[in-house]
Amino acid sequence: MREIFENIFEQEPLDPMEAARRAARPRLRRRFYKQALVGPEQSGRFPVLLDGRPVRTPARRVLAAPAYALAEAIANEWSAQGEKIDPATMPLTRLASTIIDGVAEVPLAVADEVAKYLSSDLLCYRADAPEGLVARQAELWDPVLAWARDRLGARFVLAQGVTYVAQPDTALAAARAAIPDATDEREIWKLGALSSIASLTGSALLALALAHRHISADATWDAAHLDEDWQMAQWGRDEQALERRAFRRAEFDAAVMVLQETR
């Protein structure tokens, strides 16, 4: 099973746009199991079983989640596969493997990587025109910055354009303190989800606000794509961008589920 799992999740371009850029069609593997289920709890973890055998990550660890609902959702991804297994339709499985094989090994380093987004967070860089875009950024982004100031004690400064502006050390330290870096398993899974969301949105502040329930998943996604949506409203839809966004939204939703089930 190890070889099959690695072939599926390591050798193929998971992003359909990346596959197109490589001029390669993903070589999907045949489904090799009949049933995917959640196994009995073991030390606070729920393993995913294929025909009664535990799924293993590429690093040979058991694919098991700290909450039954997460394990069930992973098993459902495997159950939903047809004659061929398509990794692009299994974002939660991929995220879980990343957390188990990567985040759990170096949680402090991952937390530091998330914190790096704070230095040049999307929400701090504003347009100076047109007026409608400026107003829209203020509408969606200012409440999150106000939350960081009032809830975290992190007061960030704004800049116009793309010129880098250094953030106060006190703001960076206060926001960094809100990023989990403990060795508790649920915290590790939460950290993995935060890392994914920060990467997908370009904003650690949006990821933190979502994790603390200050903002909804849909509002987080809209805030992260405000500029792109504005451009498409002015110049028309970009179908390739929308196709790529749909893939990334599935990744985002998987991370949101991890946050919800590890609170």
Kindly give the confidence (pLDDT) of every residue in the chain, 263 residues in length, as a single tens digit, with 9 standing for 90 and above: 444 455 456 554 455 444 444 444 568 899 999 999 999 999 999 999 999 999 999 999 999 999 999 999 999 999 999 999 999 999 999 999 999 999 999 999 999 999 999 999 999 999 999 999 999 999 999 999 999 999 999 999 999 988 999 999 999 999 999 999 877 899 999 999 999 999 999 999 999 999 999 999 999 999 999 999 999 999 888 888 899 999 999 999 999 999 999 98
Could you tell me how many residues make up the chain? 263
* Eight-state DSSP code of residue 56: B
Q: Most distant CA pair in the chain: distance in Å?
A: 59
Phi–psi pair at 259, nearest 5 degrees: -60, -45
Look at residue 121 and give its three-state secondary structure. coil
- Peptide bond between residue 168 and the one before it cis (omega within 30 degrees of 0): no
| Cα 168 from chain centroid (whole Å) | 27
* Eight-state DSSP code of residue 46: E
What sign for the dihedral angle of Cα 187, 143, 124, 127?
A: positive
- Residues with Cβ within 8 Å of 173's Cβ and at least 6 positions away in sequence, in order, are none
Please name the amino acid found at residue 117: Y
d(CA 225, CA 217): 13
Q: Are 252 and 221 in contact (CB under 8 A)?
A: yes
Q: Are 51 and 34 in contact (CB under 8 A)?
A: yes
d(CA 69, CA 42): 15
What sign for the dihedral angle of Cα 148, 149, 154, 156?
A: positive
Query: What are the tokens at 126?
Result: 């504003």
End-to-end CA distance of the chain: 32
Q: What's residue 5's pLDDT?
A: 53
Phi–psi pair at 253, nearest 5 degrees: -65, -35
Q: How do the residues of the chain divide into helix, strand and coil, expressed in percent and rounded to 5?
A: 60, 10, 30
